[in-house]
Amino acid sequence: MAEKKLMKGNEALAEGAIRAGCRFFAGYPITPQNEVPEYMSWRLPQVNGAFVQAESEVSAINMVYGAAATGVRCMTSSSSPGISLKQEGISYCAGADLPVFIGNVMRGGPGLGNIAGAQGDYWQATRGGGHGDYRTFVMAPNSVTEMANFPHKCFEVSFKYRIPSMVLADGIIGQMMEPVEFKHPEVDVKTLVEPDWAIGVNGGRAKRIVKSYDLREGYLEVMVNERVKRYKQIEASETLYEEKMMDDAEIAIVAYGTSARVSVAAMKLAREKGLKVGLFRPITLWPFPKARLVELSKRVKKFLVVEMSLGQMVEDVQLALNGRAEVHLHAKPGASVMTADEVYRTMDNIVKKGAKEYAAAK
């Protein structure tokens, strides 16, 4: 086994992207993701890649649009306010079917908010913060090792389905250090086949155009519907989740990122006190693991969504379950982190309230 290395989440994300074949990065500094561009600035030249510190987030996303149009694996990253600035560009990338990879290391919001870790960009990431009908493939890491390995999956999905992809981490996952394990073999960029839509200098072949529009009557609808087919394929085959102690669970916590880490501690606390609690962790936020939640609801009748936001993911859980089970919420907005004890108390209340209601009904 290779020697274990202690690494910061942000650095692991950058190194993971490079190992997955990323050879172009454009970005603009913002806390708490500064280690990503910092790492890229010295590491990319070592692998014959290019790093650009752009003059703004808007420039960075459009540089990445250009790079992706040539078929190269490329990335931009930022944190919440900076990702807001990139939304127009992300919509254009989606419209032009470009496989760009975006890192969002979330901080507090709205507005300038603060620089602490948060999960307030769930809606923006999963609903498409830019204009128009589109989707982005969104992965939510809860460890430094996942930061290191998710870029590989993102590039794979992005290139297979021609869709922008995003790692949606919170500032805590970005800033923390943990032993890291890179699970995928390093991608040799020389072996990557140039996509049949990529533009570049290649005399003699048929003209290729990358654009996010087709002004012929009725053709935008055709374009969007063609894209929807790919979205359906992604939903069918790229959905990821993790379950912990769900076999005998009577309450399922649904949480991602740092919230899922705290929830594991809360689950252990609850188990010690006799509550049968399990954890369901969506790894892809879009596509959201709806089908599995429905399956679980045949047995589990109480779900508790734990998130560091005012209640965003809870809507996806409600949509998925559609009344099949109780859905409760433990929300912690404002860039603060819930404690395991707080989450445990919420679960305890749910159980006690349920018992009271049962007694009253009798």
Partner 1 sequence: MYQGIKISGFGGQGVISAGYLLAQAGMMEGKEVSFFPAYGAEMRGGTANCSVVVASDEVTTPIVTSPDTAIVLNEPSLAKFEPTVKPGGLLIINSSLVNSKATRTDIKVIYVPCNQVAGELGNAKIMNMVALGAFAAATGAITIDAIAKALPKVYKKLKPEVIELNVKALKRGAEFKLN
339 to each of 46, 258, 259, 343, how far by Cα in Å? Answer: 42, 11, 9, 7
The CA-to-CA distance between both ends of the chain, in Å, stands at 60
CB of 348 to partner 1, least distance (A): 18
Angle between the N-to-C axes of helices 144-161 and 219-237, in degrees from 0 to 180, rounded to the nearest 10? 140
CB of 114 to partner 1, least distance (A): 8
Stretch that binds partner 1, among 42-50, 87-95, 197-205, 264-272 (CB under 8 A): 264-272
Q: How far is CA 193 from CA 49, 89, 124, 238, in A?
A: 17, 26, 32, 22
| 210 vs 264, beta carbon nearer partner 1 | 264
Select the residue interacting with partner 1 from 43, 152, 153, 261 (CB under 8 A): 261
> What are the structure tokens assigned to 175, written together?
């800033």
Residue 234 CB-half CA count within 13 A: 28
**Residues numbered 147-186 forming contacts with partner 1, rule: CB under 8 A:** 171-172, 175-179
Of the candidate residues 14, 140, 147, 262, the single one contacting partner 1 (CB under 8 A): 262
> What is the nearest approach in angstroms of partner 1 to the Cβ of residue 215?
48
Pick from 104, 258, 297, 309: which binds partner 1 (CB under 8 A)? Answer: 258
Q: Can residue 339 be called a binding residue for partner 1 (CB under 8 A)?
A: yes
The residue range among 43-51, 53-61, 129-137, 256-264 that interacts with partner 1, by the rule CB under 8 A, is 256-264
Q: Are 194 and 21 in contact (CB under 8 A)?
A: no
Q: Which of 94, 29, 23 is nearest to 60 (CA)?
A: 29
Segment contacting partner 1 (CB under 8 A): 11-19, 83-91, 184-192, 338-346? 338-346
Rounded to an integer, what distance in angstroms lies between the CA atom of residue 305 and that of residue 315? 10
Q: In angstroms, give the least distance from the CB of 44 to partner 1.
A: 22
Residue in 49, 65, 56 with CA at minimum distance from that of residue 17: 49
Contacts with partner 1 by CB under 8 A lie at 4, 6, 31-32, 115-116, 171-172, 175-179, 258, 261-262, 264-265, 268, 337, 339-341
